[in-house]
Chain A
């Protein structure tokens, strides 16, 4: 069963906005509500729009199980490597050794007074959020892909 043209066009129109908003939630995780898990779930919703509206054989040309599996593995590996880099460079596991260091990568110092900071002041927290976002995106997408691949439909 394939959905109607209205559903397919709407899904095609909306999924880039879903992915962009999810990435926004992930990258602003240390400043605003949300974070890795919530942003990854929003990004996976964009993939779910595409998956629901089309045939499995149609969609696997663009979204593959291997790529999503790779996303999941890369997110987990990135989180572990960041934690261990805190152990090596800072002294304890997940130590935020980048914060306030003046490094170009999320290391800007925060001014005095009640200052919530900017995008670049978080240290490793933004990178950890990004790792969790990639992990959740891959994991939830692969759940949907396996769910869809179990259907016995006539191929187009």
Chain B
């Protein structure tokens, strides 16, 4: 008796047409359900800040055309290929006080308030939580990490604030980020877990430590209590991270453990290899979002006032923004390098399929910097580039001219697009009660 080969059976199943099935099984399944995950639920909405220091050159930044027909300006050329995924917002201004160069801008955009203290690079705090952390507080409980904070330029702290004086550290070492996200605590979809009694014990320890935190809280001032509350929250979040290890990982077709980055990244002739560092960080962050390890990030490509020595530049970045004359071609070259790396991150997101869309469609990214014109620290014509965010309802592929509008309208829009029930944003001159018109579809 003639036996049927498996291949023949398959051919029979698809009607004898001789097609071979190229798609992995999970991909085929999600294809049927279009914009849903393997378990039928919708793909989550993500949000992230992509930040670089030292401002831009506003005249070379602003495109000549508004609306859907906009063409990239000289500075924005590195993003030309991603044009359909972008929403360029120009013309907004920071309405809160501009007292601290490189600090007042981000404070106004991210908290709607002015900055405390008078010298940003020596560490002065925002007066409240930044929008990314408000979003993380709202949706971060769904994932292993409420948010992740990363950097390309070596630095200790991000601009993200959980509250006044509670700045969030950032990870600038790709290998350390890999270990945190994809090391012991990570399981790819389908990976089995061996029951480990240590997990339960670690949770008991965290529970005991949380109780100690509460006991200490009962003896301290209101100010210190807020600090302990933050630690307590982190302890509880770590407990739930461990609990999550005992359940099944999310069923995400595109999630896999990425390759481990190198242990160290050498400088190139005494200059940091920003391109390589950025690429490694982008790949890790994209997969962290694709694996639903987190839904919120704050990425510090470089710090405010950073004096990074870019490849080919005759002086540090910050020094050039102030000392270079005329149209500042050296500064322009640095901004283009930065935006090339930003485009690289967007491409990493768009390479991860989610249903019949990509991770980029389900991630809203805001790329911005610490002032408008680096040379004068002005805060009019603030540079803002949204990317992705199709599932959020962002109007994409357009240049939205919002001349003179309070930048806090943008912040409020972000909160609302992320599903937070916010009806106002900002303090004093920063306060707004409506989002930026035209930003959402």
Same complex for A and B? Answer no
User: B-side interface residues toward A, CB under 8 Å?
Assistant: none
